[in-house]
Amino acid sequence: DESHIKGIHDAMAEFETLTCINFVKRNTERDYLIIKSADGCWSNYGKVGGGQTVSVMKAGCMWKGIIQHELDHALGFLHEHSRSDRDKHVKIMWEYISPADRPDFKKFENSNNLGLPYDYSSVMHYGPYTFTNTTGKATIVPIPDGSVHIGQRQGLSNLDVAKINKLYNCSRCSTILDAASGSLTSANHPRNYSDNTNCVWLIRTRSRKISLHFQAFELQTTRGCQGDYVKVYDGSSKSSAVLMDKTCGSKIPNDIVASGNLMLIEFITDGANTASGFQAIFTSGRSENKENGKE
């Protein structure tokens, strides 16, 4: 089914944008993932060898964050609430978890936490009521502050990305901006950015159309902007439609509006000449047209 396959490709594309992981169509490789709609949303932890199944059932698993959760298991990641240090961050309410579901809340005493902090906003964290056997009773309670939000499935968090990049030895510089509005700048701005950088910012709002406004812009000028450039995409990957092609020099670009709630900004610099870089703010509004004063 086309839309399901597109959903899986979109979830993969975000990994490819933010990390060094690439999902390549299998040819004759011995070890590979078989992604299919089986019974529920599940995956093995890490590489099993041979063809291994990642199940993303058409009914119930077709959210980007759920697909990414299962793919992240295949990449080697446990549930966040299974980390060795989880008891400092959450309380597991065993009495509301049926015995059959308890293995999913198991703590791994010697998990490799990659020297990175516990992440309540990880796509690998369960929500408060996951597998509860009693309506309204939480199975996982954040401590000391029980109101902390857990279990988001919008997509990978900044720490999810940092962990993948650390495990896979990737120096990609990626930032996810999960807010209705905010700002971004090149490194060191207004001092000069460095040579040979490859950075992306993914703006991800809840359901609103994103606008990007550059306040400062000063990049090395080259013919066709082949050296240093900023490029903006209408979506979360470099295969998304281009909103602003390679741009350099010192003219402030026009405002850019995405068609939806995802926008990707790419900043590439070569080995010669730097400048002060850029500063931009983004906002997001209603996605309806406000023509003729009507919403």
Average pLDDT, the chain: 94
Tens-digit pLDDT profile for residues 92-135: 999 999 999 999 999 999 999 999 999 999 999 999 999 999 99
| Site of tokens 């020297």 | 115
Domains of the chain: 2-75 (3.40.390.10), 78-168 (3.40.390.10), 171-284 (2.60.120.290)
Q: Tell me whether residue 79 is annotated as binding.
A: yes
Least confident range of 47-56, 81-90, 134-143, 285-294? 285-294
Alpha-carbon torsion (123, 125, 128, 134), positive or negative = positive
Question: How do strand 51-56 and strand 32-36 relate by DSSP bridges?
Answer: parallel
- What is the per-residue DSSP string for 32-54? EEEEE--SSEEE-SS--SSEEEE
Rounded Cα gap, residues 231 and 242, in angstroms: 8
pLDDT band at 286 (very low <50, low <70, confident <90, very high): low
What percentage of the chain exceeds 70 in pLDDT? 97
Which pair of structure tokens corresponds to residue 127? Answer: 């929500």
Rounded to 5 degrees, what angle do the CA atoms 169, 172, 175 make? 125
Q: Which residues are part of the catalytic machinery?
A: 70
Lowest mean pLDDT among 77-91, 262-276, 279-293: 279-293
Q: Give the model's confidence band at 206: pLDDT under 50 very low, under 70 low, under 90 confident, else very high.
A: confident
* Per-residue model confidence (pLDDT) at position 54: 97
**pLDDT at position 236 over 70:** yes
Q: What is the mean pLDDT of residues 66-84?
A: 98
Q: Which residue has the tokens 């089914």?
A: 1
Confidence of residue 290 (pLDDT cuts 50, 70, 90): very low
Q: How far apart are the first and last CA of the chain?
A: 34
